[in-house]
Structure 1
Amino acid sequence: MDLSTLFSLMNGVALITGASKGIGYSIAETFAAAGAKVVISSRKQDALDEMADKLRAKGYEVTGIACNVGKKEELENLVQKTIELYGQIDVLVNNAASNPVFGPVHDTSLEAFDKIMEVNVRAPFHLMNLCFPYLRTSPIASVINISSIGGISPEQGLGIYSVSKAALISLTKVYAKEWGDHKIRVNAICPGLIKTKFSEALWSNDKIMQQIIKKLAIKRAGTSEEIGAVALFLASKASSYTTGAVLTADGGFTI
């Protein structure tokens, strides 16, 4: 068995949102190392250019295209530019997320609720639909939605964020069931506490960290590279019989 082929994304085209840092960036680097042509996206072109240059310096084929996923027309532009560049989309990773609040759910404003749902649920929904015509022609089509353990069991202080991630899990299962006939696999990853800028409110708080560590089988925060490895499994032929799965990468938090 040739394991290098099993986990290869050679000549595939991967589109990753929220990819200028953290988990998205690590997924991009992992996919590029596996041979994919990678389009990374986030709101700021300058940040994307810097990260794309960093990856190209390693010999990878990476392009940055700015997109605010909360804006319908920018998502459409993102797909159009990707197709103009590569003519195809084989792997889509919905990683971009928003969580502007931390605290009791009853203190969450309607504006914050709408923002969270717009970015965390509506954007993946629209982007999957935009990519469908291209995914259905790919022999290796895979969609990976980055959810959260909060989508399995609500996290304290992250109420509506948890609701949005539960909705993303459900959306993943709906698409997996409906797109099976089109040979498109759709799966979700639920990271636990990963040490990124996005989760800094948690891991930078010693009291919260002590409480979390007590619940972990693996007594540490995870790394974005570890999520990148899970994403490679779901994008590659190694997971060719896996769809509708919800994979936790949380150090045993949800055991």
Structure 2
Amino acid sequence: MEVKCRRLEGKVAVMTASTQGIGLAIAERLGLEGAAAVISSRKQKNVDDAVKGLKAKGITAVGAVCHVSDAQQRKSLIDTAVKNFGHIDILVSNAAANPTVDGILEMKEAVLDKLWDINVKASILFLQDAAPTYALAGEMGPNTRFNCIAPGFVPTRFASFLTENETIRKELTDRTALKRLGSVEDMAAGCRIPGF
């Protein structure tokens, strides 16, 4: 990924689920644009490997273990950013669960609970965890911007059970307007930070 713009120089971006796939592509994109990347994963090895890979590309990066449903690990991720860089400018809540391919009318309540807990509630809690930090609290208000990317099916390890099956992949591709699945780079490019 070649990025020439350095519009995020001096900014600090904290991201959940960012050691592979879409999250890692976003971390790389923001890092190449100048932001310090604070990445996370549920596994320390994944964090270590991703930090090493980002640093090899000239990106300032640190990481922490964070399962978004664990309050202490969310706090630790925020603390890692503040301890290393003194402030937070950008939050990317990338963690998600996709426990079923059932239509919404067929989903069991336990599946809906998991989708709510990981895909919605954890994002709100992540923002709440970050808001008390001095730098972010001072920035919030009329200048705070929110952006949402809904990627659909992107060929990543997370969606591999769908995208690696040629029949299913063709069905998914045929349903898209562009007749192709998105890439992690498409998602990273879509992660525009208004105002920076």
TM-score tier by shorter-chain length is 0.7 to 0.9
SS of residue paired to 1:187? coil
Matches within 5 A, 1:153-232: 181-231=141-191
Deviation string 1:81-140 (CA, Å, 9 cap, x unpaired) is 2211211000000001112233355765544333222111111001111222332334xx
SS of residue paired to 1:198? coil
SS of residue paired to 1:190? coil
SS of residue paired to 1:196? coil
Number of residues of Structure 1 aligned to a counterpart in Structure 2: 192
Amino acid at match of 1:199: A
% same residue: 32
Q: Measure the CA separation in 1 of the matches of 2:149 and 2:100.
A: 22
Amino acid at match of 2:181: A
RMSD value over aligned CA atoms?
2.2
SS of residue paired to 1:26? helix
Whether the aligned pair in 1 keeps the contact of 2:153 and 2:182 (CA below 8 Å) is yes
Tell me the equivalent position of 2:84. Answer: 85
Q: Which has the higher helix share?
A: 1
Moved over 6 A (4+): none
Matched, 1:36 2:70: no
Matches within 5 A, 1:1-255: 8-103=7-102, 108-133=107-132, 134-138=135-139, 181-231=141-191, 234-235=192-193, 239-240=194-195
Amino acid at match of 1:23: I
SS of residue paired to 1:65? strand
Q: Measure the CA separation in 2 of the matches of 1:59 and 1:105.
A: 43
How big is the shift at 1:184? 0.8
Q: Measure the CA separation in 1 of the matches of 2:183 and 2:58.
A: 23
How big is the shift at 1:73? 1.9
Gaps of 5+ in 1: 139-178, 242-255
SS of residue paired to 1:188? coil
Whether the aligned pair in 2 keeps the contact of 1:101 and 1:112 (CA below 8 Å) is yes
Residue 50 and residue 190 in structure 1: after superposition, are their counterparts in 2 closer, same or farther (change >3 A)? same
Whether the aligned pair in 1 keeps the contact of 2:13 and 2:38 (CA below 8 Å) is yes
Amino acid at match of 1:137: G
Normalising by the residue count of structure 1, what TM-score does the alignment of the two structures yield? 0.69
Whether the aligned pair in 2 keeps the contact of 1:136 and 1:182 (CA below 8 Å) is no
Gaps of 5+ in 2: none
Amino acid at match of 2:183: T
Amino acid at match of 2:8: L
Deviation string 1:186-229 (CA, Å, 9 cap, x unpaired) is 11111132111111122122222222222223222211011111
Amino acid at match of 1:93: V
Deviation string 1:148-180 (CA, Å, 9 cap, x unpaired) is xxxxxxxxxxxxxxxxxxxxxxxxxxxxxxx6x
How big is the shift at 1:54? 1.0
Tell me the equivalent position of 1:158. Answer: none
Amino acid at match of 1:39: V
Normalising by the residue count of structure 2, what TM-score does the alignment of the two structures yield? 0.88
Tell me the equivalent position of 1:162. Answer: none
